[in-house]
Structure 1
Amino acid sequence: MISQRTSRFLAGGILLALAATGCTTVSEAGTTQGNGAPAAGSGTALAVNEEARALLPAEIRDKGVLRIASDPTYPPFEFYDTDNKTIIGWDADMGDAIGAVLGLKVEHVPATFDTILPGLSSGKYDMGMSTFSVTDERRKVVDFVPYLQGGTGLAVAPGNPEGLTVEAATLCGKAIAAQKGTVQSLDILPVFSKECTESGKSAIDMQFFPTQNDANLALTSGRVAGVMADSVSLAYQGKLADGKFELAEGPDYEPELTGTALGKKSGLLPAVQAATVAVLESPTYGEINTKWELPASTEITPADVVLK
């Protein structure tokens, strides 16, 4: 998720339960709507940007709705509120903010992570906002509009008794989990495991789960020694889980841009780029980051929005 992108291949009470036990199920029955107003929890109203709105495809502008898919098992970016139905989080607020700038209502649609990009290509969703790392391989099938930057971290048991880090040498022979379809499962862990075997050590026991909650449950139940995912999300999830796991110390691994995914045939790219710039230039961007406890290091500038 920084401006230096890699070229590797694709790929309260209830909240505590979600992060620690993985009880969330993903179903489109949980569709929730934003009201096209300021981002939830934001004190700044976002006016419609008529120039950005004019860039919308006529079909979307006339329909008046953006259908945004997210995997609601990944706090603080997307997860269920205490009603176990309403999707909240950083991506939900950012999606509402983009919708407000474009003068559109937003429907937040729950989906499993590895089905979102295919759903964009088929036209099932208008946008995907689920903390997608911007990779060259993903860019072959969808367009991206960056909104944050960050990198990979490793969740471990409290106190990190095995001394694990996001380095291959410390993970050889260990059971390490990740969510299916993420860069951690498709790229980083396989590369690390190969480094282990090439150095004469045991391969990493890679275990991939359909949701982040499932991966976290494997850690808290002792079935795996660590979970690899976005570092900001893992730190936040550890807090929600009342310290049942924590982020291992050390720098993020290969920081890169993260952003909104769009179907290449959707025609939405210019409008979403313009709307994202408008949000980044407004106080709302900082307010959303503060609300969800994102460090300043994750913020990008308008210059990062249009990919080269």
Structure 2
Amino acid sequence: MTTSLARRRTTAAALGLASALVLAACANPTDGGTTEVAATSGARTRINLGPDQDRVTTGKVDSIAAEVPEKIRRRGTLELVASSGSAAPLTFYATDNKTVIGVEPDLAYLVADVLGLKADIHTVSWENIFVGLDSAKYDAGFSNITVTEERKEKYDFATYREDNLAFEAKKGSGLKVTGPADVAGRTVAVGSGTNQEKLLVEWSKENEKAGRKPVDIKYYQNDSDTYLALQSGRIDLYLGPNPTAAYHAATTAKTEVVGTYSGAGATLQGLIAATTKKDSGLVKPLADALDHVIGNGTYAKVLQRWGLSDEAVTKSQINPPGLPRTNK
């Protein structure tokens, strides 16, 4: 999927983020814990934040289940991993502070249904997702993982959502971000080891080559520290996944999305994918399972319940072009 993109979505229909603490503050205790966010232009959707999720389910498909490597079939479980540092509506904790919920777990459970396996979801730090995949401790990652050319050397990918990034600023900042020049000399926070960090580093280099000031890149341990820095003026912007940034802006009214960009750069639509160790034999059944749920409508129901319909794909691609090494 290529497009001339920097996909400037000014209204964040694909919503997104808050930490579990922010979500708890937004929950309505009288209705079991819900919050309301924009789903698509002009529409709203209520998100259930409680542990009783009543997830969208589907049936096993024997022909696709038979594609799963025998070792996993015998085990009967699909060992899945997500980042413990993620946030709503991607992966986060319900109001009981122990049940893992979000669009990523919902899609993982749906794929496991098709494969006739029980989904076991583990949450770990971002870097340990890949350590666990490398060691075969986990079968697949469902954690807002972007397809990149560098990662394709070690991992196989089955895509399931578009990847769009967002620049978030303090509400009323007057800032707008459409390209590298707009962040020249700005102080911008970003997550370490993420593809948004890669993009920001490349933009900073472009600025220096053009005779502009580089980006002053900052790193924080958690979202709470990042947003405290944003509100206090210690940073100008935060670059993160569009779903999480837009959710945070919608539920707190303290920040705003001031620019969006494809996670793969200006000329390629970034894609989020289920991630497996290269040549593990699992990527095809994952892609086939995703195609099945896209076809039977359950995939659309999952995205809709999390306000992410605008990030839908029409087909799961195996190892498509990813974020270039130079991001140019």
TM-score (norm 1): 0.81
1:158 corresponds to which of 163, 168, 171: 171
Structure 2 match to 1:205? 216
**Residues of 2 paired with 1:199 and 1:164: CA distance?**
20
Matches of 1:129 and 1:5 in 2, distance apart?
27
Report the secondary structure of 2:74's partner residue: helix
- Structure 1 residue aligned with 2:203, among 185, 192, 201? 192
Relative to structure 1, is the Cα distance of residues 193 and 231 closer, same or farther in structure 2, using a 3 angstrom cutoff?
Answer: same
Quote the residue 2:231 is aligned against.
220
Partner of 1:29: none
Q: Of residues 77, 81, 84 in structure 2, which corresponds to 1:65?
A: 77
Q: Matches of 2:81 and 2:4 in 1, distance apart?
A: 24
1:166 Cα deviation from its structure 2 partner: 4.2
SS at match of 1:132: coil
Alpha-carbon displacement from aligned partner over 1:253-298 (angstroms, at most 9, x marks no partner): 63311111101143211221111111111221111111110143x1
Q: 2:254 — aligned with what?
A: 244
Give me the CA root mean square deviation: 2.6
Q: Does 1:169 align with 2:181?
A: yes
Q: Does 1:15 align with 2:20?
A: yes
Preserved contact between residue 300 and residue 309 of structure 2 (Cα < 8 Å)? no
CA deviation string 1:149-182 (max 9, x = no partner): 1322101111233x13142111111110111111
Cα distance, 1:159–1:148 mapped onto 2, change above 3 Å: same
Instruction: Give the Cα–Cα distance (whole angstroms) in 1 for the partners of residues 19 and 270 of structure 2.
Output: 31
Deviations along 1:89-138, one digit per CA (max 9) or x if unpaired, are 00010000001111111111111122212321111211111111111111
* Alignment partners' CA distance in 2, 1:264 and 1:204: 35
The CA distance in 1 between the partners of 2:299 and 2:160, in whole Å, is: 9
- Conserved in 1, the CA contact under 8 Å of 2:187 and 2:235? yes
CA distance in 2, matches of 1:214, 1:115: 22
CA distance in 1, matches of 2:176, 2:257: 10
Gapped runs of 5+ residues in structure 2?
Answer: 6-17, 26-51, 321-328
What is the match of residue 134 of structure 2? 121
Identity level (%):
28
SS in 2 for 1:144: strand
SS of the equivalent of 1:238 reads helix
1:135 alignment partner, one of 116, 126, 148: 148
Q: Does the aligned pair in 2 maintain the 1:117–1:261 contact within 8 Å?
A: no
Aligned to 2:177, the other structure's residue is in SS state coil
**2:75 corresponds to 1:87:** no
Name the CA shift for 1:41/1:59 in 2 (closer, same or farther; >3 Å): same
Shift in alpha-carbon separation, 1:5–1:90, aligned structure 2, 3 A: farther
Identify which range, 65-74 or 145-154, moves more after superposition.
Answer: 65-74
Indicate if the aligned counterparts of 1:154 and 1:166 stay in contact, CA closer than 8 A.
no
Q: 2:296 aligns with which of 262, 277, 282?
A: 282
TM-score normalised to the size of structure 2?
0.77
Which deviates the most, 120-129 or 67-76?
67-76
Structure 2: how far apart are the matches of 1:290 and 1:171? 33
**Counterpart among 131, 135, 145 of residue 158 in structure 2:** 145
Per the alignment, residue 50 of structure 1 pairs with 62
CA distance, structure 2, for counterparts of residue 251 and residue 14 of structure 1: 22
- C-alpha distance in structure 2 between counterparts of 1:295 and 1:214, whole Å: 30
Aligned to 1:266: 280
Equivalent position SS for 1:74: coil
CA change 1:14–1:216 in 2 (3 A) is closer
Separation (CA, whole Å) in 1 of partners of 2:125 and 2:230 = 20
Q: Could you tell me which runs of 5 or more consecutive residues in structure 1 were left unpaired when the two chains were aligned.
A: 7-12, 21-38
- Return closer, same or farther for 1:250/1:95 CA change in 2, 3 Å cut-off: closer
- Report the Cα offset of residue 227 of structure 1: 0.8
Please list the CA deviations of residues 40-64 of structure 1 after superposition, one character each: whole Å capped at 9, or x if unmatched.
5445x41101011101111111111
